[in-house]
Structure 1
């Protein structure tokens, strides 16, 4: 372990300022040297990742996790073994070595599965793998069992916070349990060594609990080669029957009620009452699709899209409306920003971390469809403002590139390993150098986010 922690941290270069990601060829050229530096004097690190949904249903969290695993394996040579529920019909092929764990479907969300903990056979597999670091991505039964196992094995435990599950309870008639659920979430994360939160605001809320856990920020990135204004297609718009001279309002995400579908539909109703029927595009699928289609019969439902098809559809819209208040980061917001769309969102902590009201977005009172409708109307009536706001959102997105974001996660892994290393290994790096290195790198994204939040 001592040599491993030093090996993982020593290859990291100086942190780079935000900017466009290097092209894949540059990454490929650097990969061999990074891997060589990492393995010098030590075997590659073994990382056990525990996920409630790694690839059986597509969502923002597992897209980020798969991208992280790919980055870690390519740039460090580390071996990542993933433990997650699986399905006979996964949404996409997993990155890394995936081990299935027992699970059952969730009654009110049958598209998701609940892991049933860590049975003996899987626990033995983890022990045989002998991870140097455990990464938990969900506070479920599997995560709790993996945390307990990590403590027994004396393995550093890092958690990434992707969802504040208590925010979903209102949509299922269980709002009275929110305070209890939030306390349980903080207890789970507080028992880990490090927690990576998607925004500084959530990190500060966790720090306020005085749990002793080390809190860092893992923001999300966007693939600017995929999501960009050049994907806009007049032919695609025409094929959907959209008027080329009128703005198209788009929703992107899973069609579940906690994504703000009711607020979106109410907003479109109010906008329609003020003038011509709005042009509305819905990208996504999910259990609430039938409800949403009945509620918005005039909308174009493109269904589930990925890759270039998704990027083209998104860039071919004009205004991105996201009234959801349950996001912890909002990957879809960032994809819309990179596509050059004008953004109208709920005024929530995750959107404030990304966007500035009145400059690169219009942030509205979360429970006020009239506020959303007024924002949409103002943009539809002033398309010069619409274009200016889209251009500013595009500029803003340039600070969030995956290579730099994921490099920071590797540094957090290294910090976790260094923190649990024995005294002899710390002699390899002076205490002053170690404090300066880990403090500077772990704080980079927090500093970026703070700088971005200023006018």
Structure 2
């Protein structure tokens, strides 16, 4: 098969209405696929004022806002209009990127027609529950996820550490890796700006510890705040830089030290300048399947302090590009931050090692892995059809 033979129906719970690492990766993928000659149709909720323009053709699916998190929406049905569009598009592969109701309907639609389905994993939804005191439901959520993914023909995870957990949880027998690239024209050490630091009241001796991302509790805000406070008690040079916005921002501001710099939501060059102007990147989250922001910080030459969790374990080499800490050890995080504060030469060496790691993280070569997986699944389905007719046994 050639890429131009592919007709890909992509289902996403959030393609462009809120900016995050997952949907930016999906938009980059669609851009790459279109450049290779593939046909792509995206089915996702549409809002009046999205965070950024979508790449490719976007078809609206009915959705409702999540209670308490109105910026996010849940697709609720594969409407008659969307279904007719899907039938007319006639995909030869379906890609589902979130385990929501519409994705379930899309999988059923594809299975009824003998069309292969690939799922991509972008976050570990079951880990969110602990931040909302709902750990009791983790086994049930994991069972639902297993049912969803085992109805798909293959899964692609963003990192080997995530893939290992998916295998252990028996989500699928066919799990590949779709990693993430980094735009090194945007994220690089040359973006560091002493003028930017001075404009934000950052002194020459301050060691700025950066947070970057949506300001939501599942990003480990409680651990971040506690670790910064513990470190600052022992060394006043430690200060925090928060880049991002979100519904938990009032909570974060109330629990962070008074000298924290809140830079707000940043994009493009402004984002790169803010991040590169920090000294250490701190990511305590355990919900990431990959951690795009961690890789972007590494591309800026920052050492990383991160939780021992999926995503970070595949990016951060402990003692070389950063420091990995047990996610429950607030004092351990504080010690790691203080080590980088006291040892600028170690900070510089680990930052340079991280920069070297990102030099080969090219988006096109990474997205080609997804393209090849599509071709593999479609070709395998065609071989089975030639043997068994229009109702071949399901791929496993």
Deviation at 1:179, TM superposition (A): 1.2
Deviations 1:143-201, CA, capped at 9 Å, x for gaps = 10000011112211111011111110111121100111112112211110111011223
- What is residue 330 of structure 2 aligned with on the other side? 369
Aligned equivalents of 1:321, 1:423: Cα separation in 2: 49
- What is residue 390 of structure 1 aligned with on the other side? 351
2:113 matches 1:118: no
- Tell me, yes or no, if the aligned pair for 2:238 and 2:341 is still in contact at 8 Å: no
- Tell me the secondary structure at the aligned position of residue 320 of structure 1: strand
Q: Decide which of 120, 126, 138 is 1:160's aligned counterpart.
A: 120
Deviations 1:291-318, CA, capped at 9 Å, x for gaps = 1112123211111111111011101111
Change (3 A) 1:298 1:212: closer
- Tell me the secondary structure at the aligned position of residue 17 of structure 2: coil
Q: Decide which of 322, 336, 358 is 2:283's aligned counterpart.
A: 322
Structure 1 segments unaligned to the other structure (5+ residues):
1-5, 9-37, 39-43, 427-455
Map 1:175-186 to 2 at 5 A: 175-186=135-146
- Tell me, yes or no, if the aligned pair for 2:155 and 2:172 is still in contact at 8 Å: no
- Tell me the secondary structure at the aligned position of residue 349 of structure 1: coil
Structure 2 segments unaligned to the other structure (5+ residues):
388-396
Aligned equivalents of 2:332, 2:385: Cα separation in 1: 60
Aligned equivalents of 1:184, 1:308: Cα separation in 2: 40
Q: Decide which of 218, 222, 227 is 2:182's aligned counterpart.
A: 222
2:180 matches 1:241: no
- What is residue 293 of structure 1 aligned with on the other side? 253
Most deviating of 194-203 and 146-155: 194-203
Q: Decide which of 54, 62, 66 is 1:102's aligned counterpart.
A: 62
Deviation at 1:77, TM superposition (A): 1.1
- Tell me, yes or no, if the aligned pair for 1:359 and 1:389 is still in contact at 8 Å: yes
- Tell me, yes or no, if the aligned pair for 1:168 and 1:258 is still in contact at 8 Å: yes
- Tell me, yes or no, if the aligned pair for 2:126 and 2:138 is still in contact at 8 Å: yes
2:2 matches 1:7: yes
Deviation at 1:87, TM superposition (A): 1.2
**What is the aligned residue count?**
386
Aligned equivalents of 2:184, 2:93: Cα separation in 1: 31
Aligned equivalents of 1:386, 1:273: Cα separation in 2: 20
Deviations 1:22-42, CA, capped at 9 Å, x for gaps = xxxxxxxxxxxxxxxx4xxxx
Q: Decide which of 5, 18, 33 is 1:72's aligned counterpart.
A: 33
- What is residue 143 of structure 1 aligned with on the other side? 103
- Tell me the secondary structure at the aligned position of residue 359 of structure 1: coil
Aligned equivalents of 1:214, 1:175: Cα separation in 2: 28
2:315 matches 1:354: yes
Deviation at 1:210, TM superposition (A): 5.1
Deviation at 1:422, TM superposition (A): 3.3
Deviation at 1:367, TM superposition (A): 1.0
Deviations 1:324-347, CA, capped at 9 Å, x for gaps = 111010000000000000111111
- Tell me the secondary structure at the aligned position of residue 111 of structure 1: strand
- What is residue 438 of structure 1 aligned with on the other side? none
- Tell me, yes or no, if the aligned pair for 1:191 and 1:213 is still in contact at 8 Å: no
- Tell me the secondary structure at the aligned position of residue 94 of structure 1: coil
Deviation at 1:121, TM superposition (A): 2.0
Aligned equivalents of 2:294, 2:141: Cα separation in 1: 27
- Tell me, yes or no, if the aligned pair for 2:206 and 2:237 is still in contact at 8 Å: no
- What is residue 302 of structure 2 aligned with on the other side? 341
- Tell me the secondary structure at the aligned position of residue 187 of structure 1: helix
Change (3 A) 1:153 1:423: closer
- What is residue 413 of structure 1 aligned with on the other side? 374
Aligned equivalents of 1:107, 1:242: Cα separation in 2: 38
- Tell me, yes or no, if the aligned pair for 1:117 and 1:143 is still in contact at 8 Å: no
- Tell me the secondary structure at the aligned position of residue 286 of structure 2: coil
- Tell me the secondary structure at the aligned position of residue 82 of structure 2: helix
Aligned equivalents of 2:278, 2:97: Cα separation in 1: 33
Aligned equivalents of 1:334, 1:275: Cα separation in 2: 27
- Tell me, yes or no, if the aligned pair for 1:117 and 1:144 is still in contact at 8 Å: no
Map 1:15-26 to 2 at 5 A: none
- What is residue 392 of structure 2 aligned with on the other side? none
